[in-house]
Structure 1
Amino acid sequence: MASAFGKILLITGNAEFLADRTRAKAVKVVTGEQPEVEVAMSTASGLQPGELAGLTSPSLFSDASALVLTELQDLPEVAQKELLAYVAAPSPDVAVILVHSGGQKGKGLLDKLRKESVVTEVKVEQPKYERDFAKWVYTEVRDLGARIDEEAATLLVASIGQDLRALAGAADQLVANLEKGTEISASLVRQYFGGRADVRGYEIADATLNGQINVALEQARWAESAKVAPVLITSALATGLRSLAKLAGAPEGMRDNDLAAHIGAPPFKIRTMRSQLRSWDQAGLAAAISAVAQADLDVKGGAADPAFAVERMVLQVAAQRRR
Structure 2
Amino acid sequence: MTPAPRRPAAKAPASAIPQVSWRRPQPAPIVLVSGPEEVCAERAIAGIRAYLRAEDPSLEVSDVRADDYEAGTLLALTSPSLFGEPRLVRVAGVEKCSDAFLAEALAYLENPQDGATVILRHTGASVRGKKLLDAIRAGAGRGIEIACPAITKDDERVDFARGEFAAAEKKITPNALRVLVAAFASDVTELAAACQQLIADVPGEITEEIVEKYYGGRVEVTAFAVADFAIAGNLSQALATLRHALSSGVDPVPMVAAIAMKMRGIARVAGSDQSDQALAARWNMKDWQVRRARGEARGWSNLSLGLAIQAAARADAEVKGASRDPIFALERLVTVIATRAPYGWDPHTRRTAL
TM band (smaller chain): 0.7 to 0.9
Q: Given the superposition, is the C-alpha separation of residues 202 and 16 from structure 1 closer, same or farther in structure 2, using an over 3 Å criterion?
A: same
2:312 corresponds to 1:292: yes
- Identity fraction in percent: 32
Offset at 1:55? 4.4
Q: Cα RMSD between the aligned structures? A: 3.3
TM-score by length of 1: 0.81
Query: Structure 1 residues 212-221 or 20-29, which shifts more?
Result: 212-221
Quickly say closer, same or farther: Cα 1:81–1:295, change in 2 above 3 A: same
Please name the residue that 1:129 is paired with.
Answer: 153
The alpha-carbon deviation at position 51 of structure 1 amounts to 4.6
SS at match of 2:179: helix
2:174 & 2:157 partners in 1: Cα distance?
A: 11
Deviates more, 1:6-15 or 1:108-117: 108-117
Which residue of 201, 205, 215 maps to 1:177? 201
8 Å CA contact retained: 2:151, 2:188: no
SS of 1:68's partner is strand
Structure 1: gaps spanning 5 or more residues: none
- Residue among 133, 136, 146 paired with 1:110: 133
CA distance in 2, matches of 1:286, 1:92: 67
Instruction: Tell whether 2:273 aligns with 1:273.
Output: no
Inter-partner Cα distance in structure 2 for 1:269 and 1:23:
33
Within the alignment, does 1:90 sit opposite 2:112 as a pair?
Answer: yes
Distance 2:39 2:174 in 1: 23
Measure how far apart 1:139 and its partner are. Answer: 1.7
Query: Does the 8 A contact of 1:154 with 1:266 survive in 2?
Result: no
Name the one with the larger helix percent.
Answer: 1
1:198 aligns with 2:230: no
Q: CA deviation at 1:67?
A: 1.5
Letter paired with 2:111: A
Kindly indicate whether the alpha-carbon contact (under 8 Å) linking 1:151 and 1:185 is maintained by their aligned counterparts in 2. yes
Distance 2:319 2:137 in 1: 49
- How many residue pairs get aligned? The number is 315
What is the letter of the counterpart of residue 310 of structure 1?
L
Which of the residues 184, 189, 198 maps onto 2:211? 189
Q: Does structure 2 retain, via aligned residues, the 8 Å contact 1:131–1:154? A: no
Partner of 2:58: 36
SS at match of 2:324: coil
Instruction: Provide the rounded CA distance (Å) in 2 between the counterparts of 1:310 and 1:293.
Output: 11
Shift of 1:201: 0.3
Q: What CA distance in whole angstroms lies between the structure 2 residues aligned with 1:35 and 1:270?
A: 49
Q: Which residue of 1 aligns with 2:44?
A: 22
Supply the AA of the counterpart residue of 1:270. Answer: V
* Cα offsets for 1:254-298 (capped at 9, x unmatched): x313422432333222123224445243x7656644543443343
Equivalence for 1:80:
102
In structure 2, which of residues 102, 115, 122 is the aligned counterpart of residue 100 of structure 1?
Answer: 122
What does residue range 237-276 of structure 1 map to in structure 2 within 5 Å?
A: 237-247=259-269, 253=274, 255-276=275-296
State whether residues 69 and 100 of structure 2, in contact with CA within 8 Å, keep that contact through their aligned partners in structure 1.
no
Q: Secondary structure at the match of 2:67?
A: helix
Q: Deviations over 1:48-93 (max 9, x none)?
A: 5555444444457864433211122222355334312211220113
Task: Output the TM-score relative to the length of structure 2.
Answer: 0.75
Give 2:327's aligned residue: 307
**1:201-237 CA distance string (max 9 Å, x none):** 0122234445544333232222212221112211102
Task: Give the 3 Å change call, closer, same or farther, for CA 163–192 of structure 1 in structure 2.
Answer: same
1:8–1:120: 8 Å Cα contact kept in structure 2? Answer: yes
Q: 1:276 to 1:188 in 2, by over 3 A?
A: closer
2:32/2:122 contact within 8 Å kept: yes
1:167 maps to which residue? 191
**Aligned with 1:26: secondary structure?**
helix
**Structure of larger gyration radius:** 2
Give the whole-Å Cα distance in 2 for the aligned partners of 1:118 and 1:258. 42
Distance in 2 (alpha carbons) for counterparts of 1:76 and 1:320: 64
